[in-house]
A = this chain, B = another copy of it.
Amino acid sequence: MRAIVLSGAGGVEVLAEEERPTPEPGPAQIRVRVRASALNRADILQRRGGYAPPPGAPLDIPGLEYAGEVHALGPGSTLWKPGDRVMGIVAGGGHAEFLVVHEREAIRVPDRLSWEEAGSVPEVFLTAYDALFRQLHAQAGETLLIHAVGSGVGTAAIQLARVAGLTTYGTSRTPGKLRRALDLGLDVALDASDGWAGLLLQQTGGGGVSAVLDLVGGAYLADNLRVLSPRGRVIVVGTVAGGKAELDLGLLLRKRLHLIGTVLRSRPLEEKIALAREFSDRALPLLEAARIRPVIDRVLPFSAIRQAHQVMESNDTFGKVALVWSNDE
């Protein structure tokens, strides 16, 4: 099979397409013929050598999500039949023509979604769904601040929060991304270049927000605590602005705040299955009804993987960079 392979850690020159053995599905697994995937910030980190795959994941084939057809069933696998359209997250190996997963990790692809749309769903919608509903326990009537609102997770979170009856505030340094986020249902756009914390407190009459979805980290932490209302919660999903921050413990106590760290990739199988099943029950109907939809900045063939990485690193994207296998490559 064709696969994107990392020859080492570094710039985009370490990425290349190579032939690799097609994986065999084990007990309760399925083999998926991947039609589309997408790029994630973690793929960039992994390429640079800063995010090793967890045990069990392919060491040198990146890629954290997929959409494709069930191609073969492992022993005892009963949930799918060959040809079924499925999608999901993997701890690595998503940027290959074939991959194997436990059958219960796979999620049905709604008929209305194209391959590139389906391949752009799993990481950002599972991350946002898990963060908002399983960890922040966000509920109708609450207010939510979303950082990096033009990112894949940001665009997913705006839509899920809107469906759930939350009022959303979103930050970005790029006015164009803020405009597109408003089109997507964001309630209040905050220019991160202008000191978003002050703007937010102004917009909320000093009351702040009840929850924060933070994909930025670093110095944003102090302002997150500042804009949270009493008993507020912040979940940190990414730390692109830095992995260390000074924490005001006194403020954490006085406001009785909750600070939560999360990651999907290293979770054990049983947790990934639980999330995939719950997402299938609750979020698939929203995708089918087009109440939520993947936001795709552009679609590139896997043969342009280096360009795809460069595009993501430019930070000029709004939503996902999708990747597709084309037959004539």
Question: A interface vs B, CB < 8 Å?
Answer: 217-218, 221, 236-239, 242-263, 266
Cα A248 to Cα B246 with chains together (Å): 9
Query: B256 to A258, Cβ gap below 8 A?
Result: no
Copies in the assembly, this chain: 2
What chain B residues lie within 8 Å of A217 (beta carbons)? 249
What chain B residues lie within 8 Å of A254 (beta carbons)? 261, 263, 266
What chain B residues lie within 8 Å of A236 (beta carbons)? 249, 252-253
Question: Chain B residue with minimal CB distance to A263?
Answer: B253
What chain B residues lie within 8 Å of A261 (beta carbons)? 249, 251-258
Cα A114 to Cα B258 with chains together (Å): 38
Query: B246 to A244, Cβ gap below 8 A?
Result: yes
Question: Chain B residue with minimal CB distance to A267?
Answer: B256
Cα A258 to Cα B259 with chains together (Å): 6
Question: Chain B residue with minimal CB distance to A259?
Answer: B259
CB A304 to nearest CB in B, in angstroms, measures: 30
Question: Chain B residue with minimal CB distance to A242?
Answer: B249
Query: B246 to A245, Cβ gap below 8 A?
Result: yes
What chain B residues lie within 8 Å of A238 (beta carbons)? 253
Query: A239 to B253, Cβ gap below 8 A?
Result: yes
Query: A247 to B221, Cβ gap below 8 A?
Result: yes
What chain B residues lie within 8 Å of A251 (beta carbons)? 261
What chain B residues lie within 8 Å of A248 (beta carbons)? 243-244
What chain B residues lie within 8 Å of A239 (beta carbons)? 249-250, 253
Question: Chain B residue with minimal CB distance to A261?
Answer: B252
Question: Chain B residue with minimal CB distance to A264?
Answer: B256
What chain B residues lie within 8 Å of A246 (beta carbons)? 244-247
What chain B residues lie within 8 Å of A263 (beta carbons)? 253-254, 256
Known: A244-B246, A244-B247, A245-B246. A262 touches B266 (CB 8 A): no
Q: 14 new A-B pairs (CB below 8 Å) besides A239-B250, A244-B248, A253-B262?
A: A217-B249, A221-B249, A236-B249, A239-B253, A243-B249, A244-B247, A245-B247, A246-B247, A249-B261, A254-B261, A256-B260, A256-B261, A256-B263, A257-B260
